[in-house]
Structure 1
Amino acid sequence: MTQHMKTPPVVSQEAWEGAYEEMLVKEKALTRARDALAAERRRMPWMEVKKDYVFEGPNGKASLLDLFEGRRQLVVYRAFFEPGVFGWPEHACRGCSLGADQVGNLAHLNARDTTLAYASRAPQADIQRLKERMDWKMPWYTITDSWDKDFGVDEWHGHNVFIHDGKRIFRTYFVNNRGDEAFGTVWSYLDVTPLGRQEVWEDSPEGYPQTQTYKWWNWHDNYEEGAAPDQRWVEVSDAGEAAFRNKNA
């Protein structure tokens, strides 16, 4: 450790635990504030997308509705991988690549009726080559029209969030700059969607889909559409939740 680094004081275990408890109060307040902000997002107005956009995917042309892959919600990240971007053609933008490396297993997000997709202006052949090289699994489409300009991501990265009702598509949220630097977990994505995590503890508008807390969680290779929660997991999660509640009380 460099002697020029001004470090915090070294204290006893008792003093350290006291400082930790003080910090924990602030961290719990931040968690509650974050939950309240997510609840406000779920009440944001929607903007209908009336223009027909065309993407190129691994199987050919795709509409914005196709990007949902049959699910209710869609999060699209505009990644910079194209001629003129530092790293081309071997790599995408370093920042976008760091973000892609953070993306967790998409099965959990899909289980909440939500799809994550990436979009760039690179041809599909280059995108598939890049995904194989970097071991990225998210669906990744080629932008062919003004979609990036129309949704504020023609010059900078960002996540656009959509929901559909039949063939009608609505833009519900947008995150860019430092707002999306920590994206990658299932929670970071769900907290910016119009339906949220869809658990009963959330403050959501009346009629929104919600299931019992923890009960839908599963191994990523074990999700079965329409399957009831495993009773053994129900018992484990109930016991865990009760323990947390007793500790907080």
Structure 2
Amino acid sequence: MENRIVNHDEWVAARKAFLVKEKEYTHLRDKLAKERQALPWEKVDTNYVFEGPHGKVTLSDLFEGRSQLLVQHFMMGPDWKEGCVGCSFMADHVPGALVHLNNHDVSFAAVSRAPIENIEAFRQRMGWNFPWVSSGQNSFNFDYNVSFKKQDTVYYNYETSKFGGEELPGISVFYKDENGQIFHTYSSYARGNEEFLGTYVMLDLMPKGRNEENGLQDWVRHHDKYDVVKEHKCCHS
């Protein structure tokens, strides 16, 4: 790290100059959010039925009486015993937000193709409190372009590209009106979901930033697989 060392007045001047750019970004983000909310919707005509821990669950059921639903397309394939590390990293950010979302007319659910017994075992291991259902018996993952047959090219993130796997991450948003009709309002994939990762927001404030060369795979682990962190003495210990 070779940052310049300056006096306080220079530090404040540089910080204020950068603050102008931060405010521009904030205003642009607000503008994009309004444009996103104004995008057209498509009606969901398929009656998706999932497998939940207590039996069959429809897409409508996942709204849990609310009008808005955020779905995490969680990478956990049919024969997987644990979920994708990156998807797990995102899921770690959900529990704290869930009560706030639920009290603001938003429900959340994760959906994967793994059998529900594998999902439940992993969910309990991770200590997560959000609904998570299996789409292994329906076309949901394929319809929303996050699961694929093994092939050279796939349609993902609104373009065709080469990919030899079967699962990729994403999020989808749905709205249910007073008549029970469901609409698909938004989907995002790949780095489009980074704003869900509050840890990244914090790391971007740090002098070393994200400190990674190959993305999450450089350092992120399932939260129960990190080496034990040595306790640091604090002022009240």
TM-score (norm 1): 0.68
1-structure distance, mates of 2:195, 2:129: 18
1-structure distance, mates of 2:108, 2:197: 10
Q: Does 1:21 align with 2:12?
A: no
Asked if the contact 2:116–2:134 (Cα under 8 Å) also holds between the matched residues in 1, the reply is yes
Matched with 1:149 is 142
Deviation at 1:111, TM superposition (A): 1.0
Matched with 2:54 is 59
Listed as ranges, the gaps of 5+ residues in structure 1 are 189-249
Q: Does 1:133 align with 2:121?
A: no
Matched with 1:169 is 182
Cα–Cα, structure 1 residues 10 and 184, in superposed 2: closer, same or farther, change >3 Å? closer
For 1:109-139, what per-residue CA distance to the aligned partner results, in whole angstroms no more than 9, with x for missing partners?
0111001110011122221111111111111
Deviation at 1:181, TM superposition (A): 2.3
Alignment length (residue pairs): 177
Matched with 2:64 is 69
Deviation at 1:182, TM superposition (A): 2.9
Asked if the contact 2:60–2:182 (Cα under 8 Å) also holds between the matched residues in 1, the reply is yes
1-structure distance, mates of 2:77, 2:143: 19
Matched with 1:111 is 103
Q: The residue matched to 2:92 in structure 1 has which SS?
A: helix
Cα–Cα, structure 1 residues 94 and 171, in superposed 2: closer, same or farther, change >3 Å? same
1-structure distance, mates of 2:97, 2:143: 29
Equivalent positions of 1:30-109 (< 5 A) are: 30-83=25-78, 88-89=80-81, 91-103=82-94, 104-109=96-101
Look up the equivalent residue of 1:150 and give its one-letter code: D
Deviation at 1:50, TM superposition (A): 0.6
Deviation at 1:82, TM superposition (A): 2.7
Q: The residue matched to 1:20 in structure 2 has which SS?
A: helix
Matched-pair identity in %: 45
1-structure distance, mates of 2:84, 2:117: 17
Look up the equivalent residue of 1:125 and give its one-letter code: E
Cα RMSD between the aligned structures?
Answer: 1.6
Runs of at least 4 residues of structure 1 off by over 4 A?
Answer: none
1-structure distance, mates of 2:127, 2:8: 44
Equivalent positions of 1:184-223 (< 5 A) are: none
